Amino acid sequence: MGVFFSACGYRFSGSGNLPSGVQSIFIEVLENRTVETGYENTVTNDLIYEFTRNGRAVQKSKDNTDAFLTGVIVSERIRTISRQGQLDPLERRVQITISLKLTDRGDRVIWSRSGISDSEAYDVGANNQITERNKRHALEILSKRLAETAYNRLTDNF
């Protein structure tokens, strides 16, 4: 008795190739247009991690690379999503939006996406220090998710 397996054409998100036959990239530190000091390093490092985790060659210098990934952390938006009474917020949501561009060595744009966005909720603490720690944790989670989303969009060949 034989077993027959058939591929249906489905694949995991982000499992495709980089556009235009790119094999190796250099990821520049993103420009940060938010008030979150140092957040550009967090997002850039998470992008590098996401690419290397998926077996992509990320170069440490611009020399001998096929393409350059550049980007901007465009905005940060914070909203209160639950309250206790009129004035006491219990929970907030932070939303980060980024834009990315992949260019080849000749400065030709291979791929670009604006408005890559995600949000994460965090608790408002008993004091500003606790609230800020909770917000920082939410931003770290967001950075990882944005990096994963960006990688998946860059490698989806739909």
pLDDT at residue 93 in the model = 98
pLDDT tens digits along 23-57 = 999 999 999 999 999 999 999 999 999 999 999 99
Q: How far apart are CA 68 and CA 71, in angstroms?
A: 10
Please report which confidence band the pLDDT of residue 132 belongs to, taking 50, 70 and 90 as the band edges.
very high
Q: Where are the beta strands (DSSP E) in the chain?
A: 24-27, 31-32, 57-59, 67-84, 88-104, 109-123
Q: What are phi and psi of 56, to 5 degrees?
A: -90, 145
CATH superfamily of 19-155: Lipoprotein like domain (3.30.160.150)
pLDDT tens digits along 5-16 = 444 444 444 457
pLDDT at residue 44 in the model = 98
pLDDT tens digits along 65-107 = 999 999 999 999 999 999 998 889 999 999 999 999 999 999 9
Contact indicator for 68, 79 with CB cutoff of 8 Å: no
Q: How far apart are CA 43 and CA 24, in angstroms?
A: 19
pLDDT at residue 70 in the model = 98
pLDDT at residue 35 in the model = 96
Comparing CA positions, the residue from 27, 25, 102 lying closest to residue 64 is: 25
